[in-house]
Amino acid sequence: MKVIIFGATGMVGRGVLRECLLDARVSGVLTVGRSATGLAHPKLREIVHTGLPDLAPIEAELAGYDACFFCLGVSSAGMSEKDYRHLTYDYAVAAGSTLARLNPGSAFVYVSGAGTDAGGRAMWSRVKGETENALLAMDLRAYMFRPGYIQPLYGVTSRTRLYRLGYVVTRPLYPVLRRMFPAAVTTTEQIGKAMIAVAAGGAPGRVLGPADINAL
Ligand SMILES: NC(=O)c1ccc[n+]([C@@H]2O[C@H](COP(=O)([O-])OP(=O)(O)OC[C@H]3O[C@@H](n4cnc5c(N)ncnc54)[C@H](OP(=O)(O)O)[C@@H]3O)[C@@H](O)[C@H]2O)c1
């Protein structure tokens, strides 16, 4: 299976990339982002593209893939709805519609988050919900991952400074969190493995919370 990862330099994307490089079912990985991961691996190819969300200049390189793991995203903290919508909806929909045209029926896993709801009151939740709905309507095997708390493993760190600081505090608490809230907690490793499982064999539903992700 050949996969494309958007956001491979981030916390979630980096964890997903690690699992893809380790998994024998994945024969090739293409990362697309405004910066490179800097990793070298025989299965890995990177495209640094600063013109996102416009994929037209690199479109020829995106054909022939079986799955896309879309891990690019930003925190809505301090952002206007217009800017957040652009970085969330426009980026994901541009990737989804391009890949639906180039690789119809391929798997597309989008990372939204627990609490995502197109009819919700919170701005981020509505925008992510609308993004999910747009992707689910495309000619893709689209799956929405809605993790809650994610424990980064194997040295993976968040690109968001506030979250990096938060993880310093929560890291020692993770074993307790996992025991107390098993249905709300997942790890970068479990997310990566679940994405590969979904792309390879499908899932019981199109919208998957932390417990579904861990089960996969
Ligand atoms: N972390 C969590 O606990 C958590 C929980 C639930 C859901 N999520 C969701 O999971 C997704 C990924 O989160 P994360 O924690 O991995 O975030 P992160 O560590 O901040 O990484 C964000 C990724 O998005 C890319 N990106 C951000 N803005 C960009 C832009 N303007 N143009 C191109 N690329 C851009 C970053 O690229 P650069 O390296 O070039 O900046 C990086 O690869 C987000 O949608 C988030 O809402 C996260």
Greatest pairwise CA separation for the chain in angstroms:
48
Provide the whole-model pTM: 0.97
pLDDT tens, 184-197?
A: 899 999 999 999 99
Pocket test residue of 9, 86, 165, 186 for ligand 1, highest count of atoms within 8 A of CB: 9
Q: Which residue has the tokens 């493993």?
A: 153
* DSSP state letters, 58-96: GGGGSTT-SEEEE------TT--HHHHHIIIIIHHHHHH
Relative to beta strand 149-151, strand 185-187 is parallel
Ligand 1, atom 45, residue with closest C-alpha: 73
CA of 78 to the centre of ligand 1 (A): 15
CA of 8 to the centre of ligand 1 (A): 9
CB 151, CB 186: distance < 8 Å: yes
In the prediction, which pLDDT does 80 show?
A: 97
CA of 16 to the centre of ligand 1 (A): 12
Spatial distance between the Cα atoms of 25 and 200, rounded to a whole number of angstroms: 8
Question: Distance between alpha carbon 187 and the CA centroid of its chain, in Å?
Answer: 13
In the prediction, which pLDDT does 198 show?
A: 98
Q: Specify the DSSP element, H or E, that contains 6.
A: strand 2-6
CB 194, CB 42: distance < 8 Å: no
pLDDT tens, 11-48?
A: 999 999 999 999 999 999 999 999 999 999 999 999 99
Relative to beta strand 2-6, strand 67-70 is parallel
Q: Region 177-206: what's the mean pLDDT?
A: 93
Q: Is 202 left (phi over 0), alpha (psi -120 to 50) or beta?
A: left
Q: Which residues line ligand 1 (CB under 6 A)?
A: 7, 9-13, 33-35, 52, 71-74, 87, 111, 113, 147, 150, 158-160, 163
Binned at pLDDT 50, 70 and 90, residue 142 comes out as very high
For residue 166, pLDDT over 90 is answered with: no
Sheet containing strand 28-33, edge to edge, reads 44-48, 28-33, 2-6, 67-70, 107-111, 141-145, 207-208
Beta bridge partners of 110: 70, 144
Architecture of the domain whose range is 2-215: 3-Layer(aba) Sandwich (3.40)
